[in-house]
Structure 1
């Protein structure tokens, strides 16, 4: 499919557009999650402490990735609005400014996070894994610019309907990482540090592929000298669109770090391994929801740019229906055969002893996947309607409630924490659906009022 055809699909039937865009994004996100699972699978041979270190670092790495992905979502929303309004030059300029912003943010944050990471790990980790955890995290921190630029480029490609190209980027990352992991971890004998080093080498390759796509003629946007300059107004627009999403990712993944602290205080490093291993699989289960939410941002933003409220409504309702269908189906499968999914992470003697507890935990926490799936879809609609701040506020409120529930559960057992997680997501799903509905009604009434005054 050429660039013009991709944009035509993006601007056409909302159901077809969401499916067409969501499929490559799903593949892209699946590849990213499989990437993390590969680290876990290879490192499970290093023992419980190595997996606990990965679990502690995972939310911090997700925050790093979320900053780039959030900026990418903001860029995608702005680019797709410009395309919908038939302003391709502004869309091209916006893409360049987004990359510049990613570099600036990365350069500023790298030394800050490098200095803060020992104290941060001491706060959220356990003493027996502190040194290995800091060593594993350092490669990600030093390469923060690469992580942010890579995520932003993916958003730029998605914003012009070229989600298949962003998927190709992620395929390069995942395949490279899966190949490099055993080489760095075992052959070169770098151990746990080798896992993060392999990931960053693979990220660099992915970024180079993405830059090649953007500068080629395979995408809708064109980049000549007129757009290759610093534009403060464009940066302001992209930051306004992307910052709330970046903040939401920070809140969501920061919550994971707090949950790790609570689990360690309740059940130690072993408890964190028991929880985090099945939770990594749940992350795979919510990938379709994340992809559909990302696709909805682009499709609904186009409809917003064209002032086609009915098309935006149809896109949202279809996204909700599709997300629930997929996530509930996955939940049923996991509940029926959890042991099959946990086998790749429990092959060592040390991990095999924990397998029954890991399976029991899997059965409980898998329940939250369909509930959580409402958050990215509703967030996508709010982003398209230029109200991303409401999504951030919801995320903050939802996570404050969940912290209270986690602490209550920690007074009893790890199992109680798992059930608290499910209860918290019931509340979160209800909040997301209500706020999305109320916001849509308000926007609809505003547009109806403007239309009647014009007539």
Structure 2
């Protein structure tokens, strides 16, 4: 192929080396992104428990946008990396343009729906006396839908060609701007909870401009965004959506489960339990970032391996990512258990929220068991996304989230009357069961496809 970049040369080589090289920048970028989500929660917690709970009620809907952003990006990564593996440069450019068109259409529809129906949705979710704060935060956040989805799609295109460094730079820009704007807009400008939302919107907008500059002005990416390369083709759209939609649906399933857990927590322990879970889960999401970054790298490597019909590299990528992921998980578990009381105080620095600190710490320590079984689920789902089997990845998520986590949490919290701790241990039990199922399914698939060569 003409114009091969350093990233393309990397992902078409040794799978182990590619996973490590791609994961590094992604870990930095995703950690900073999660960090500014934590910063949002920290600054908002200074406004009181109701404000923190309000963010918690908006979070499931926000996860839908995050899911779509990551899903479209995953679809682009899988489809384009398969084209790269097959040495189809024309397919690379056409797939990138299809990704852009799909992003614009989905963004327009979602923005209208979320802005129109936000209040009734929050009411059904049980926002109660926090609904006004949740509306103030949510209406601004969801105005940035097009920015979030465009950025996620662009990240996916860059990852598909092995350019995770540029992805890292964009995400760092977003994180730094958000972190700087949070205290300014929330407190100095006196915008309160709306200030946190505006900080997110502004930072996403600036990153979108940077990405547009890279693709349309600098023009040094492997994939080229230009209408002259766009040839409407349902097969190309399908190659993106067969991974993108299921990947997005995975986040929607997780969003639905978060809403279910919030509802259970309100019933068994009140809105304080939602605030505790909301704050603690942000820490959990940040803790699993290295594992998620490794999994994201596996999507690209698996796509190239599948496109070039080097199926042995699928097995290598799966086994290697599992080993690295488990090592990271063990280190994360030990560190979190020791540091939990100190981490909890970050969310309880104000007099209004100080009483939440011990319970947040207890939640974080329970989650130490959760981390160990995260790699089997993430790495196995990434293999299926990389080869274009997004539905299989979605099924694994449904098993883990709805059939395991939601049911176990309900049984432990309500049927067996363990209260909010029942929800915590339900999350752990579901993760264990889901991780085992995902790992066995992936090994069976890889073994079967290798026999076809």
What TM-score, normalized by structure 1, do the two folds share? 0.94
Partner of 2:205: 204
Contact kept in structure 1, 2:155 and 2:167, CA below 8 Å? yes
> Residue 429 of structure 1 is aligned with which of 422, 432, 435?
435
1:91-240 to structure 2, matched below 5 A, reads: 91-215=92-216, 216-224=218-226, 226-228=228-230, 230-240=232-242
> Residue 252 of structure 1 is aligned with which of 248, 251, 254?
254
What do the CA deviations read for 1:208-239 (whole angstroms, capped 9, x no partner)?
Answer: 11222223233222345521465444223212
Q: Give, in whole Å, the separation in 1 of the partners of 2:135 and 2:39.
A: 20
What do the CA deviations read for 1:101-121 (whole angstroms, capped 9, x no partner)?
Answer: 111001012112222211211
Partner of 2:37: 36
Runs of 4+ in 1 over 4 A off after TM superposition: 228-232
**1:365 CA drift (Å):** 2.1
> Residue 397 of structure 1 is aligned with which of 396, 399, 416?
399
Q: What count of residue pairs does the alignment treat as equivalent?
A: 446
What do the CA deviations read for 1:43-87 (whole angstroms, capped 9, x no partner)?
Answer: 111011111111121221121011011011010111111111111
Q: Provide closer, same or farther for how the CA distance between residues 14 and 59 of structure 1 changes in structure 2, counting only shifts above 3 A.
A: same
> Residue 356 of structure 2 is aligned with which of 354, 363, 375?
354
**1:204 CA drift (Å):** 0.8
Contact kept in structure 1, 2:157 and 2:223, CA below 8 Å? no
What do the CA deviations read for 1:263-308 (whole angstroms, capped 9, x no partner)?
Answer: 1121111111122222211111111111111100101111111111
Q: Provide closer, same or farther for how the CA distance between residues 130 and 3 of structure 1 changes in structure 2, counting only shifts above 3 A.
A: farther
Q: Give, in whole Å, the separation in 2 of the partners of 1:89 and 1:441.
A: 32
**Consecutive unaligned residues in structure 1, runs of 5 or more:** 449-455
**1:167 CA drift (Å):** 0.9
Partner of 1:86: 87
Matched, 1:310 2:312: yes
**1:24 CA drift (Å):** 1.1
Partner of 1:273: 275
Partner of 2:287: 285
Q: Give, in whole Å, the separation in 2 of the partners of 1:383 and 1:66.
A: 14
1:349 counterpart SS class: coil
Contact kept in structure 1, 2:242 and 2:388, CA below 8 Å? no
What do the CA deviations read for 1:149-192 (whole angstroms, capped 9, x no partner)?
Answer: 11111111101111111111111111110111111111211100
Q: Give, in whole Å, the separation in 1 of the partners of 2:420 and 2:243.
A: 38
